[in-house]
């Protein structure tokens, strides 16, 4: 099976490429933003028509909520029109499409995990642009999988760039920083390796549709930070904060825990806990995390 992965330099794409190549020996073509701008319809058409993949996995997106809030046109160009462009050419070539989405399509006002069938109601541009991308895929292509997730961590970026929350916390300790983390925002920390394995399994089925995929359990960002330091065996100058202390441009969700009902219906809701995932990720980082 030939698989095209967009946004190939990101955390999830890196895990997907490794798992698909190592475990299933698939033919994987990974393209970063410099090689494929999914917001450019002509480029998307020419590239997908040339590669002729069986499956396209779209991980390309503008993910930073504050950036999206400040540049809504660009956010919708990439996060909404990008998936539309991919879905249109996939419909022409007979390719299947995996569209990765986010827990930010919800409003964060719930008191229990969001199910796939719950009404979306984004409160920021990031969530709205990703929801629009979902709509375009759903209305354009029958053979699609839409994957909502959140709180991603994975990969060991040795360039010094803190590309996820775990790395940012460890980098803060290394630099001797005082770390202030919110106690009133709750989500599902999710290891890209576990998410990638589930996506790799899903694309070998014809169970098309919408899925919530996360590690099991939930946590506030503050408790997640505490777990990082305890598991890594490092001391940190960590203090509590609340959402009201933030001056960010985009509104943040108070609660973004996802229920995995669609996976349960396939008898496939077997992802490990986020605590187990964190332990394995820190093992993956190895001695680097202590440098």
Which residues are catalytically annotated?
126
Map tokens 């719950």 to a residue.
118
Residue 242: how many other CB atoms lie within 10 Å = 12
Percent of residues in the chain assigned helix, strand, coil, to nearest 5 = 45, 20, 35
How far is the C-alpha of 94 from the C-alpha of 80, rounded, in Å? Answer: 21
How far is the C-alpha of 240 from the C-alpha of 101, rounded, in Å? Answer: 29
How many CA atoms are closer than 13 Å to the CA of 273, on its beta-carbon side? 8
The alpha helices in the chain, defined as continuous H runs, are: 11-24, 41-51, 65-70, 72-76, 82-93, 125-140, 165-174, 192-202, 221-232, 261-265, 274-285
User: What DSSP character marks residue 59?
Assistant: -
181: Cα separation from own chain's centroid? 21
Contacts for 40-44 with beta carbons within 8 Å, 24 or more apart? 40/85, 41/81, 41/85, 41/88, 44/82, 44/85, 44/86, 44/89
Task: Provide the phi-psi class of 71: left if phi over 0, else alpha when psi is between -120 and 50, else beta.
Answer: beta
Cβ–Cβ < 8 Å for 123, 253: yes
């Amino acid at each position: 099976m030939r698989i095209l992965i967009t946004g190939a330099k990101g955390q999830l794409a890196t895990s997907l490429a490794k798992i698909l190549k190592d475990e299933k020996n698939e033919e994987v073509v990974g393209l970063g933003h410099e090689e494929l701008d999914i917001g450019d319809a002509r480029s998307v058409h020419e590239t997908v028509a040339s590669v002729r993949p069986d499956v396209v996995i779209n991980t390309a997106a503008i993910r930073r909520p504050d950036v999206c809030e400040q540049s809504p046109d660009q956010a919708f160009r990439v996060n909404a029109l990008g998936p539309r462009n991919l879905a249109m050419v996939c419909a022409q070539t007979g390719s299947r499409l995996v569209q990765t989405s986010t827990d930010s399509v919800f409003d964060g006002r719930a008191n229990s995990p969001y199910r796939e069938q719950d009404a979306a109601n984004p409160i920021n541009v990031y969530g709205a642009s990703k929801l629009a991308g979902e709509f375009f895929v759903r209305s354009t292509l029958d053979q699609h999988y839409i994957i909502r997730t959140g709180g991603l961590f994975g990969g060991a970026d040795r360039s010094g760039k803190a590309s996820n929350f775990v790395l940012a916390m460890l980098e803060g300790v290394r630099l001797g920083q005082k770390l202030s983390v919110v106690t009133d925002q709750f989500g599902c920390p999710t290891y890209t390796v576990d998410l990638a394995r589930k996506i790799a399994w899903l694309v070998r089925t014809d169970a098309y549709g919408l899925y919530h995929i996360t590690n099991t359990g939930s946590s506030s960002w503050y408790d997640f930070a505490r777990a990082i330091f305890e598991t890594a065996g490092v001391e940190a100058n960590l203090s509590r904060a609340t959402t009201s202390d933030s001056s960010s441009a985009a509104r943040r969700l108070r609660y973004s825990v996802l229920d995995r009902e669609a996976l349960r219906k396939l008898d496939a809701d077997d992802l490990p806990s986020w605590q187990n995932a964190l332990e394995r990720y820190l093992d993956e980082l190895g001695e680097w995390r202590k440098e």
